[in-house]
Chains A and B, each alone.
Chain A
Amino acid sequence: MLKYIMKRLLIMVVTLWIIVTLTFVLMVSIPGSPLNEERGTTEQVQKNLESFYNLDKPYYVQYLLYIKSIATFDFGPSIKQPDRTVNDLLGNGFPISFELGMWTIIVAVISGIILGIIAALRHNGIVDYLAMTIAVLGISIPNFVLATLLIQQLAVNHPIFPPATWSSPMHMVLPIIALATGPMAIIARLTRSTMLEVLTQDYIKMARAKGLNPWKIIFKHALKNALMPVVTIMGTLLAGILTGTFVIEKIFAIPGMGRYFVESINQRDYPVIMGTTVFYSAFLIFALFLVDIAYGILDPRIKLHKKAGE
């Protein structure tokens, strides 16, 4: 197990290094300086600005400074909003995005699993078709379309929920629904198909033959095994939810990290782009790492397999 964790850790570090370097190379290779748009500056001011952002130094020095800034987690000031550092932006935006993301995952996982179980238990029944129709629709409708529809129907036409911002639990309902529907649909489909497979296994028949309580069979014996694939795709789902927050935060005017990221791209604010990219990547890669470890712990076959291989 320790060897497995060490291996994953090494891959994680290499991936992160590649992203960091890639980000740097891409940013440096953009023609022109991010400061070119500054108007009304003299040559001296321009030079001072460049030296303030270390843009006058050779690339390898810039690269080392950049690596150092990442290692010490200090991304420096924003170019377009000089009174704020990238750390400020991350510090303000991340808790909100994290809250949105966490609620989305909780809602998506719980409702997806329940929908999947119901569909599997009523296999080929009306409930099954209904649940799977919801699931296919959930996968097909992009979250920005769903978000706009929700605002129009439940905030403007029938003012039940507030249409934007992020200040009370009522404000959180629509963004979470808009963001959670896609992942929920994927989880529901996956749970359904693995549940159907598990329910035909001999040990389930055995449990039934013993006369165990049907609910106990489903929740204790079947679900445990049916959830393994859901754990496997958690990493991918996390990545999807994370990028989904860009759009959702834009539509609902939520002051999260995604909005800063999109704004920084549109304004070509390089320190912010670099900082948020690296932060996002690190967060995602770490989440993938945790998912892998969790999978290794949860699935006994992985350990057995390793031992047999050694």
Chain B
Amino acid sequence: MKLANETNNNHSPGPVRDEWFQWKEKDLHKAESVSRPSLSYWQDAWKRLLKNKLAMMGLVFLVLLTFMAIFGPYMSKYDVGKIDLPNQYQPPSADHWFGTDSHGRDVFVRTWYGARISLFVGLMAALIDCVIGIVYGGISGFKGGRTDNVMMRIIEVLYGIPYLLVVILLLVVMGPSLTTIIVALTVTGWVGMARIVRGQVLQIKNYEFVLASRSFGTKSWRIIRKNLIPNTMGPIIVQLTLTVPSAIFAEAFLSFLGLGIQSPFASWGSMANDSLGAILSGNWWTLFFPAFFISFTMFAFNVLGDGLQDALDPKLRK
């Protein structure tokens, strides 16, 4: 439009002349070719995730954290539970990289032990939630009708139960241990996943491609495996990246209250709890390292989850 105006201003107004145009040969071989390489859903999502700097930062941090959680404790000569009272409250130095705590234990080693616990609890809780939630939500959404109705009523009742109270009750009964924490977190934790899977399945099973598949006589199980589950993967993964930090937080919270990981083993929550008094007397490093890593881990999972949510949503595709 603008260009046309400019030409009008530069040249004298007149009819559009034929010599302004020229013929272009039509290439019949190229007519059907695709100019952009064809990307699968996952390739496209990965490409878009790569562009999200914050999410990539989170991913890199989590990879480094996993590495340190596995190998970190071997990098120092100190033992996780070794009490060395004469050396209590040593500030960070070449010897004790993160300093020592009230019992003279090395904070560097304990921080990576805490990372192990946190990542393990988070991943296990998320995985178990995921399996139960997919099976339950899948059946509920796929069967529909009365089955769905009954299964949803059960979920509604479970959803109302305040999960941390159940967790605390279970911890009182079973005694504090890693297994108890994971069991307790998953007893009611799978409900959120089941709801999401059900919603997705309900939506997708009415799409035309499922109908087409059905009209070819495909068995239900194959439809679930080939059509429904792959198409619900996006929301499942997003939910997964949000379950992990909430499980990590729950573990830290319980350990902070003295209900989680017990001494001599270290968890970020119990380390923060131990250093409550120490920080007031100026020994900041005892709180700083566990607090920093727990906050940054939650941050990393949150931004990664946000990034994945954007990347896996086909509607946002450019």
Contact = CB atoms under 8 A, between A and B. Distances in A.
Interface of A: 11-12, 14-15, 18-19, 22-23, 26-27, 29-30, 136-137, 139-142, 144-145, 148-149, 151-152, 156, 239, 242-243, 246-247, 250-251, 262, 265-266, 268, 273, 277, 280-281, 284-285, 288
Contacts of B165: 19, 243, 277, 280-281
Contacts of B276: 148, 251
A152 B280 contact: yes
A144 B272 contact: yes
Interface string B137-178: 000000000000000010011001111111011111100000
Secondary structure at chain A's binding surface: helix, strand, loop or mixed? helix
B257 A11 contact: no
Which A-B residue pairs are the 3 nearest by beta carbons?
A140-B299, A15-B160, A140-B298
Interface string B32-56: 0000000000000000000000000
A30 B166 CA distance: 15
A12 B280 contact: no
Interface size band for B: 35 or more
Contacts of A19: 161, 165
B280 A239 contact: no
B253 interface: yes
Nearest to A284: B162
B162 A22 contact: no
10 contacts: A15-B161, A19-B165, A22-B169, A141-B291, A148-B287, A148-B291, A156-B280, A265-B171, A265-B257, A285-B160
A207 to B, nearest CB: 26
Interface of B: 153, 156-157, 160-166, 168-173, 245, 249, 252-253, 256-259, 269, 272-273, 276, 279-280, 284, 287, 291, 294-296, 298-299, 302-303
Residue with the greatest number of chain A CB neighbours at <10 A, chosen from B169, B252, B269, B287: B169
B280 A151 contact: yes
A151 B253 CA distance: 18
A142 B160 contact: no
Secondary structure at chain B's binding surface: helix, strand, loop or mixed? helix
A246 B273 CA distance: 13
Given A23-B169, A243-B162, A265-B168, A18 B157 contact: yes
Given A265-B168, A268-B172, A250 B257 contact: yes
A26 B167 CA distance: 12
Contacts of B294: 142, 145
A156 B284 CA distance: 13
Contacts of B173: 26-27, 29-30
B302 A139 contact: yes
Contacts of A281: 161-162, 165
Contacts of A262: 257-258
A15 B294 CA distance: 34
A22 B166 contact: yes
Residue with the greatest number of chain B CB neighbours at <10 A, chosen from A140, A277, A281: A140
Contact of B160 (A12, A144, A145, A156): A12
A119 to B, nearest CB: 14
Contact of A142 (B153, B166, B295, B302): B295
A265 B168 CA distance: 8
A11 B157 contact: yes
A239 B192 CA distance: 15
A189 to B, nearest CB: 9
A140 B61 CA distance: 14
B272 A265 contact: no
A18 B161 contact: yes
B238 to A, nearest CB: 14
Nearest to A250: B257
B291 A26 contact: no
Contacts of A140: 245, 295-296, 298-299, 302
A83 to B, nearest CB: 24
Contacts of A148: 272, 276, 279, 287, 291
A29 B174 CA distance: 10
